Amino acid sequence: MSRSKLLSLALLLALTVTALVGIPAATAQDEPLKIVNVVNGVLGDKSFFDSSQRGMDRLIDEGYNVEINTIELGIDPANWESGLADAMADTDAYDLMIVGTFQMGEYLAKRVHLYPDKYFIMYDDSVRYDEPEFCVEGCVNVYSVTYAQNEGSFLAGVYAGAITRSDLEGINPEHIIGAVGGQDIPVINDFIAGYEQGACLVNPDTQLLIQYAGGWNDPAKGKEIALAMYEQKADIVFQIAGGTGVGVFEAAQEQGRYAIGVDSDQATIIGETNPDQAQYVLTSMLKNVDNSLYRAVDLFLKGELPFGESEVLGIAEGGVGLAENDIYEDNSPEWVLDLVDAAADAVDEGTITIVTVFEDRVDLGYILATVGQGCEAMPETDFDVSEFLPE
């Protein structure tokens, strides 16, 4: 059974369960739905938080009957738990509250039972529904949405593998790519596993260089690692290291090689202050927070959002993808663009099954894998790459 069919079945089961716990009915509301978007940081990050706000703005722009207030808790983590508690306690201000990132899940989970007539959306993390010490009374009024980073990274790998076979300036004869992770943790390894699979699909001779920086805010370390990878003839390096990854972009510019960003369209962001450097960031693997939150509120208003459950959004649901900006379009041969689009369609249709490092995602149709297992260990597929490759 294809992954998309499995997700549809899972959603159907989730909706059946949530009917028992009191999902809100479809709203033909006279009063606007009051939404509070709690940001554990500040807007202007040009990443997750700005993306969440874009989702809210889209609801307004498209005429949804909603009233939205965004609360910025600031950059000091010491204020996040108390700030969230205060926002939750102001029950007149919201019907639905949106909270994001893994740092906030526990703070949210231990309080939602105090507000049984309110509803909550958690993004980029899932509350622990089956652990009573975290989710008192099962967090039945919380919907969690996470993103299939292995799927988005698979597309990044397809792109990287294709670029190593292209005639783009600076590309080496060897088919070598790199990945710089912030830490050696499962979520980062899920990115890398998908990335390797995508590159191997395009070229089974691909060599992947992997190194972890050990932190998220050390651009100098990121640059050092990337420079070493470029010295080893890597054509393109995927940064999955937060602020550390800024150094990867610096190294790419310095060496005349290429990089792939993560989470947001990082070339567009960099281009505002350093357009020359941005030209070396050919694309970024996107987590589309804006799409996911817009979708969630739309489903909520229809009475279809599965509370008490977690969903994983991938390519098919618009949860992940690649940044397709002018840099991507101008630097990528037509056959590369066609190949990436076809690979995305093949994942959606179930022709290609993506690997993951998470055992609990095997039930969604993924294949369990380990990082750096090599092209020979990748699952077989009927997808024919040869029809896209240049002669």
**CATH homologous superfamily of 3-148+289-313:** Response regulator (3.40.50.2300)
Q: Is 334 exposed, middle or buried (0-12, 13-18, 19+ CB in 10 A)?
A: exposed
Q: How far apart are CA 245 and CA 366, in angstroms?
A: 28
Q: Work out the mean pLDDT of the chain and round it to a whole number.
A: 92
For range 285-310, the mean pLDDT: 96
Distance of CA 117 to the CA centre of its chain: 30
pLDDT tens for each residue of 107-135:
999 999 999 999 999 999 999 999 999 99
- CATH (residue range 149-286+319-360): 3.40.50.2300
Give the per-residue pLDDT at 24: 54
For range 358-363, the mean pLDDT: 92
Note the pTM of the prediction, 2 decimals: 0.85
Type of residue found at 33: L
- Res. 275 pLDDT band, cuts 50 70 90: very high
How far are the Cα atoms of 188, 225, 313 from residue 210, in angstroms, in the given order? 11, 10, 26
State residue 146 phi and psi, 5-degree precision.
-120, 175
Residue 22 has pLDDT above 70, yes or no: no
Q: How far apart are CA 147 and CA 190, in angstroms?
A: 11
Give the per-residue pLDDT at 15: 39
pLDDT tens for each residue of 75-113:
899 999 999 999 999 999 999 999 998 889 999 999 999
For range 213-226, the mean pLDDT: 95
Type of residue found at 108: L
Residue 6 has pLDDT above 60, yes or no: no
For range 220-244, the mean pLDDT: 97
Task: Give ranges for CATH 3.40.50.2300 in the chain.
Answer: 3-148+289-313, 149-286+319-360
Q: List beta partners, residue 70.
A: 37
Q: How far apart are CA 237 and CA 231, in angstroms?
A: 12
Q: How far apart are CA 267 and CA 281, in angstroms?
A: 5
Residue 299 has pLDDT above 70, yes or no: yes
